[in-house]
């Protein structure tokens, strides 16, 4: 999506460890009007699909998911991150490894909000190694709900997550796919 690629080139910053920071419009400050345009693009790409719920993960996914949810006219459920999970029988749980923060955490969703009749669109800001997305997919599988697909704002296509998830037969729509990225600010996209 050209609009997004231009914005990444304009406002994205490449930090230490080859981390792409889009703090000024996605991850810390949220440019709600801009995200609305991305939401319309997700709506266009998943047009005709039956979707009754959007699933995301806290924290930075929540705002984006809520804006996308307005396009689809469905509620959002966000998986909560927990250091230690109280494995009660009333939640689905999965493990996620954060390569940015170098730790592993549990994510949970209450069984009340995810069930076998749900047709889920996953929304998240980034897809890199795919650990968070894979965790969300596990929660959906445990609930025997249907995964319609995943809508991602920025995919680091040079990392393995996108291939891994697509190889599972899951539709992944990424609005910007980064082919390569250099510390001098050069970013190449896959069209």
Point out which residues bind its own copies (CB under 8 A). Answer: 23-25, 28-33, 35-36, 58-60, 62-67, 69-70, 73-78, 80, 109-110, 112-113
Q: Shortest Cβ distance from residue 158 to its own copies (Å)?
A: 27
Among residues 24 and 146, whose Cβ is nearest to its own copies? 24
Judged by CB, which is closer to its own copies: 18, or 36? 36
Query: Which helix (H) or strand (E) segment is 176 a member of?
Result: strand 172-181
Select 58 or 160, whichever has its Cβ closest to its own copies: 58
- 136-150 per-residue burial string, b: 16 or more CB within 10 A, e: under 16: bbbbbeebebebbbb
Of the pair 62, 164, the CB lying nearest its own copies is at 62
Among candidate residues 122, 135, 138, the one with its CA nearest the CA of residue 172: 122
Q: Which is nearer to its own copies, 24 or 138 (CB)?
A: 24
Helical (H) or strand (E) element with 60 = helix 60-72
Q: Mind giving me the DSSP string for 33-58?
A: HHHHHHHHHHHHHTTT----EEEEET
- Output the smallest distance, CB 180 to its own copies, in A: 26
Closest approach of its own copies to the CB of residue 127, in Å: 20
Q: What angle do CA 87, 91, 93 make, to 5 degrees?
A: 70
Q: Report in angstroms how near the CB of residue 114 gets to its own copies at its nearest.
A: 9
Q: Provide, rounded to whole angstroms, the least separation between the CB of residue 37 and its own copies.
A: 12
Residue 89, judged by CB atoms within 10 A of its CB (0-12, 13-18, 19+), counts as exposed
> Please, which residue, 82 or 180, has the CB nearer to its own copies?
82
d(CA 71, CA 74): 8
The CB-of-83 to its own copies minimum distance in angstroms stands at 10
């Amino acid at each position: 999506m050209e609009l997004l690629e231009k914005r990444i080139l304009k406002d994205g910053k490449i930090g230490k460890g080859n981390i792409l920071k889009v703090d000024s419009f996605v991850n810390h400050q949220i440019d709600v009007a801009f995200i609305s345009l991305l939401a319309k693009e997700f709506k266009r790409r998943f047009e005709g699909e039956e979707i009754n719920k959007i699933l995301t993960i806290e924290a930075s996914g929540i705002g984006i998911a809520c804006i996308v949810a307005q396009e689809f006219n469905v509620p959002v459920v966000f998986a909560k991150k927990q250091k230690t999970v109280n494995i009660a029988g009333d939640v689905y749980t999965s493990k996620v490894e954060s390569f940015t923060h170098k730790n592993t955490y549990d994510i949970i969703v209450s069984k009340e909000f995810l069930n076998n009749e749900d047709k889920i669109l996953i929304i998240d800001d980034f897809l890199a190694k795919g650990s968070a997305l894979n965790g969300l997919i596990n929660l959906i599988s445990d609930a025997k709900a249907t995964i319609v697909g995943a809508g991602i704002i920025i995919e680091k296509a040079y990392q393995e997550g996108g291939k891994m998830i697509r190889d599972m037969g899951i539709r992944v729509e990424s609005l910007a796919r980064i082919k390569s990225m250099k510390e001098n600010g050069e970013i190449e996209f896959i069209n």
